[in-house]
A and B are shown apart, each in its own frame.
Chain A
Amino acid sequence: MAHKILIVDDEPNIVVSLEFLLKKEGFTVAVASDGEEALAQVAAFDPDLLLLDVMLPKKSGYEVCEALRADPQRSGLVILILTAKGRATEVAKGLAIGADAYMTKPFSTKELLAKIKEFLGIA
């Protein structure tokens, strides 16, 4: 069964690329464009992995991440933060509040795919 990935980003220009890429790689993909929608989608879509932007309307990526990590039922969910905030302090914060990995934009699509596959245990 295909792994499910939820993309949370409010910029359509990145969403279109990610969605295409992940679908091409055979994942089942859903998209949320703000923090609240992200939480709703996690409940409805039950993804295996979350690509999460930090700067989001309504709820920031950090808040979403914290909320999900507070939920023991979601302990298996992989959270990969994708953001334009590249400072070491922000990377540290993201990892501290429970993200599994942190990728700073711009990133190479190949590396992103490699990372996703690594986390999902796909060779």
Chain B
Amino acid sequence: MKAKHRFLLAVVVLGLLMTGPFVVTSLIVWLDMRESEHRMLAELLLSRLPLGTVMTLFGFAIGVSVLYKLFKQYVEGLLRMAETLRLMLNANRNFRVGLEGPPEVRQLAGAANDLAAQRDALMDDVEAQIAQAKAFVEEEKNRLAALMSELAQSVVVCNLDGRILLYNNRARLQFAALAQGPTTASGGALIGLGRSIHSILEKNQVEHALEVIRLRLAAGKAALANFVTTTRSGKLLRVQMAPVLASAGEGEANLSGYVLTFENITRNIEQEARRDQALHELTEGNRAALGNIRAAVGNLIDYPDMDAALRERFVRVVADEAARMSQSLDRTMADFADTMKTRWPLEDVLGIDLIAAAQRRIGDKLDLPTKTEELDDALWVKADSFSLVFALTFLAGKLQEHCAPRELRFRLTSAEKLAYLDLIWAGPTMSSETFYTWEMDGMQVGDESSPLSLREVIDRHGGEVWYQREKAAHRAFFRFVLPLATPEIEAEAEAPKRGAGRPEYYDFDLFNFADKSIDLDRKLSELTYTVFDTETTGLDPSNGDEIIQIGAVRIVNNRLLRQEVFDQIVDPERPLKPETIPIHGITDDMVRGKPNIDIVLPAFHAFCEDTMLIAHNAAFDMRFLQLKEERTGLSFTQPVLDTLLLSAVAHPNQESHRLDAVIDRLGIAIDARHNALADALATGEVFLKLLPLLEEQGIVTVRQALAAAEKTYFARIKY
């Protein structure tokens, strides 16, 4: 019942209460009286009836007004408060109930406000904690990403389907270097967020390693699996797999993915093979010769009475074979000397760094000034820097005791495969015998001592040391001879960073993102896309116009991955039209020597694998691709979304849907245009901005987007 009706009912009840008892009493009395009394009462009452009625009406009016007042305050007031409370509950957290009405209502309002305040405090606290936790998680992620990007190993994290969730820069460079093919993107195409690791590693091998990990996990052992695999380009990779365990709480650990670390061991294996070969030549290579000698010597000993000619013959066998063995030994040593020395854990050290370290240490420990003379600052040596610096300091200390030089000088030169590190002093010299004893003693510098002697340190380096005088200059020096190292500096041509911000090398949301096949009823925001653009020699592919550039970028989990791009100039194998050069900025010089479409298209096809395609005015680009289908045998069958059409869906009343116009309209900042990659990046941004606009129109799935695009006017223009 509505409040108003209840009020009317209350008024009626009031009226009845005020008149009812009187009327009923009168009626009973009336019925009880006789005729004469009736007449007397009527006379008595009727004359005074107006007064009674007025009094009753007056009382009723007062009653109604009191009732109205109570109704206003206790019913309507409370109803209003209820509304306010609802408002506070839903729309406006900061709204408060007005303190009005009778004291009881005011107390209630006050209590409600107190509750609201308490609730706000709690909510603020929860929000603050959530924000803090989020920031913490974000920070952790960033720290992890930063850490990963600095690691010297290649690291890739995958979910159980083999989709890549994270990779570091090292992995990107390594796989780019391993990739075959002349196109710049064929390497980048291998590795990418959401891509399958199985394009790099055999699926069976990964599955097997996972099985090993599962078994080891079940057995409660350290869950690691190692395997060696060969890439398509014939390189050997050592792969280590470690599980990513979801925090399942109690019971069995829940495998949710795995971390792979890669090491290119091709070089190690080659070294190993060389070492094996050396060993083989030293052992089996000499077995035959030794066998011959032994047989001949056996005969010489066992049959001393043989005739002179035969004896001569056997002696010659011994001499020949001994000579042969010596030669073979020399050859092996020459060929494999470097290989055999690498057994010691020597690092490649820049010679001048070694000298700087020694200078510092000699200054600190011995308080002896040092200077440098001729220094070849490009020399790398193979050294254990700690023991070598210790040895230099030890010699300096011995010199200080023995010859008391005022200062020491360093010199670093080279000859062929050897580095000469000289420790020079002027003034009194010493005998070679003294130096020999220094060489053999355990080394001591101040309170530090080493179990190694100088000789042992030198042997460990595969080097030599000697004492030499420069008579003319009245000085002498110790010369350390060390094998030169050719440090392995990998050419890591870093692609120019596109856009600001951290590189997007990880996406942990992919952990829960199993099936990536293109399902038309999936949400647009969930799919993986390749956004691409082409530059062409002209507008008419059926009359011989050709693609001269393909640029593409990936969108995974609603993010434009600026690191995962395809950017390739294509040789159209025909001259460019001069009038088109200002448009695309590509000249004949730039296309010359570049791969042709037969080479580029397969790489691009692989880059697009498992993804939807997006292009602005896609029909144009698709036509160029389709005309090559027959020649390359590659067809792009995945669904294609056209940002031109989607823009027309989102803004049906706008006149222009050219890329420039759309970019302006959506407020997208871009650096350059009319380069296939830049346009692809811009198109990707456009797509991501269009998604919420489409959603407003109820266009959420791929199927809906394709249907809506088809209905636009622009879709009817044919190329």
Contact = CB atoms under 8 A, between A and B. Distances in A.
Given A24-B303, A106-B293, A109-B302, A13 B320 contact: yes
A14 B291 contact: yes
A14 B295 contact: yes
A21 B299 contact: yes
Contacts of B317: 13, 16-17
B232 interface: no
A105 B299 contact: no
Interface in B273-291: 283-285, 287-288, 290-291
A20 B284 CA distance: 25
Interface in A3-45: 11, 13-14, 16-18, 20-21, 24
Interface in A58-114: 82, 84-86, 104-110
Chain B interface, DSSP helix/strand/loop, else mixed:
helix
Contacts of A24: 299, 303
Nearest to B320: A13
A106 to B, nearest CB: 4
B310 interface: yes
Nearest to B295: A17
B323 to A, nearest CB: 12
Contacts of B292: 11, 13-14, 17, 105-106
A85 B288 CA distance: 9
B224 interface: no
A70 B446 CA distance: 77
Given A106-B294, A107-B291, A86 B314 contact: no
B23 to A, nearest CB: 128
B298 interface: yes
Contacts of A14: 288, 291-292, 295
Contact of B296 (A17, A86, A104, A105): A17
Interface residues of A, number: 20
A17 B298 contact: yes
Interface in B633-673: none
Nearest to B310: A20
A109 B295 contact: yes
Contact of B287 (A17, A20, A105): A105
Contacts of A107: 291, 294-295
B287 A106 contact: yes
Contacts of A17: 292, 295-296, 298-299, 314, 317
B4 interface: no
A103 to B, nearest CB: 9
The 6 tightest CB contacts between A and B, nearest first, are A105-B291, A109-B298, A17-B295, A84-B287, A106-B291, A106-B294
27 contacts: A13-B292, A13-B296, A16-B296, A16-B313, A16-B317, A17-B314, A18-B295, A20-B303, A21-B302, A24-B303, A82-B291, A84-B288, A84-B291, A85-B287, A86-B284, A104-B287, A105-B287, A105-B288, A105-B294, A106-B292, A106-B294, A106-B295, A107-B291, A107-B294, A109-B294, A109-B295, A109-B299
Interface of A: 11, 13-14, 16-18, 20-21, 24, 82, 84-86, 104-110
Given A16-B296, A86-B287, A108-B298, 15 more contacts: A11-B288, A13-B321, A14-B288, A14-B291, A17-B299, A20-B306, A20-B314, A84-B291, A86-B283, A86-B284, A105-B287, A105-B288, A105-B290, A106-B293, A107-B294
